[in-house]
A = this chain, B = another copy of it.
Amino acid sequence: MERIPILKLGPFLLVSIQVDMHDRLVLTLQDDLTERIVQTRARGVLIDISGLDMVDSFIGRMLGNIAGMARILDAETVVIGMQPSVAITLVELGLSLPGIRTALNIDRGMDLLRASLEERTEDFSAGNQAG
């Protein structure tokens, strides 16, 4: 099972990371996810890390890269389900997960994505009116 499933959840995509990530698996996930964003025209990506006991700089970089790729494809990324111990370790390690937004669970993550979607639509309309 060398592939992380990507689930469609309304206008968003959901990825639940449960296994240890290694280089090739990360590349496969990035390929699959960007392809699915384009294919489904998803406007947001939820990445669940509740199954991870540890987030190191490798995972942090992966999350940042995924968020960056999704953003270029016009989809926002929210990381959900971080365990309290993971948050403690991240701060102790000095890792601040730049460019990554977090939410407690799927429901709150979806609220965040919906709000961001409305904001982007408004900005776009305002931009059009100004131009």
Q: Is there an interface contact between B16 and A19, defined as CB atoms closer than 8 Å?
A: no
Q: Is there an interface contact between A7 and B52, defined as CB atoms closer than 8 Å?
A: no
User: How many copies of this chain sit in the oligomeric assembly?
Assistant: 2
Minimal beta-carbon separation of A93 from chain B (angstroms): 19
Q: Is there an interface contact between A16 and B5, defined as CB atoms closer than 8 Å?
A: yes
Q: Is there an interface contact between A48 and B5, defined as CB atoms closer than 8 Å?
A: yes
Which B residues are in CB contact (< 8 Å) with A7? 16, 48, 50, 81, 105-106
CA gap between A14 and B18 in the complex, in Å: 14
Q: Is there an interface contact between B18 and A1, defined as CB atoms closer than 8 Å?
A: yes
Q: Is there an interface contact between B51 and A10, defined as CB atoms closer than 8 Å?
A: no
Q: Report A1-60 residues with CB < 8 Å from chain B CB.
A: 1, 3-5, 7-10, 14, 16, 18-20, 48, 50-53
Q: Is there an interface contact between B106 and A4, defined as CB atoms closer than 8 Å?
A: no
Q: Is there an interface contact between B51 and A4, defined as CB atoms closer than 8 Å?
A: yes
Contact surface of A with B, Cβ cutoff 8 Å:
1, 3-5, 7-10, 14, 16, 18-20, 48, 50-53, 81, 105-107
